[in-house]
Amino acid sequence: MKISFCGAMLALSLFSGIGFAQVPTPPLATPSSSDVSVSFVLAGRDPSAPYYGVGGQFTASHFINDRLGFQVEGDYLRTDIDNMRDAGIRVGPVLRFWTNHAVQPYVHALIGYAEIKASYLNPATSFNGAPSILAGGGLDFPLSGGWHGRVGVDVEQDWTATGTTVARGVAGISYRFGPR
């Protein structure tokens, strides 16, 4: 009886020593972060006979490390020439550079779907759905706390009966959740 009690105490002290000797697991070196942004869009088309349009976009991004993330973007553009209206939603990767600096450049390539209405599309009163791609880049810069300013340029290509290519300038604000 005395030997089993001593053996149990030895095993208990041995296992408790092993438990106290454990090294705690450090937190993730680069925890994920997210941001949302609302932006004003100035669009231009056809450099030979330029015309411009305005619109807006909403984006939500989630970064799996300090550089690479995924972005969902929804936008609406309106130009009065050809009575063009374009509403789309796209998703794809986003890549940030200089993550330790205040000003952080980024690039993104998004693919999705767009509904386009224009007077040159038949019938003119209906929306034509098309695959859509958006690629570009820009800069994020700090404003206050989690708030950041965002400026960028990108190109949108929609494949309707007649392809539409639109160059866009983007300016807006974003809010970052998680580490900054």
Q: Would residue 5 count as lying in a domain?
A: no
Q: Would residue 129 count as lying in a domain?
A: yes
What is the count of structural domains for the chain?
1
Q: Would residue 15 count as lying in a domain?
A: no
Q: Would residue 137 count as lying in a domain?
A: yes
C-alpha distances (whole Å) from 163 to each of 44, 45, 46, 50 are 15, 12, 12, 16
Q: Would residue 4 count as lying in a domain?
A: no
List Cβ neighbours of 107 (8 Å cut-off, separation of 6 or more): 94, 95, 135, 136, 137
Burial (CB count within 10 angstroms: exposed 0-12, middle 13-18, buried 19+), residue 71? buried
Q: What is the mean pLDDT of residues 66-74?
A: 93
**pLDDT classification of 38: cutoffs 50, 70, 90:** very high
Give the CATH number, domain containing residue 36.
Answer: 2.40.160.20
Token representation of residue 157 = 């290509």
Q: Would residue 14 count as lying in a domain?
A: no
The answer to whether the CB of 74 falls within 8 A of the CB of 61 is: no
Structural domain of 73: 26-177
Q: Would residue 16 count as lying in a domain?
A: no
pLDDT in tens, 97-137: 988 888 999 999 999 999 888 776 666 556 678 899 999 99
Amino acid at 112: G
Report the pLDDT value the prediction gives residue 80, as an integer from 0 to 100.
75
Q: Would residue 54 count as lying in a domain?
A: yes
Burial (CB count within 10 angstroms: exposed 0-12, middle 13-18, buried 19+), residue 17? exposed
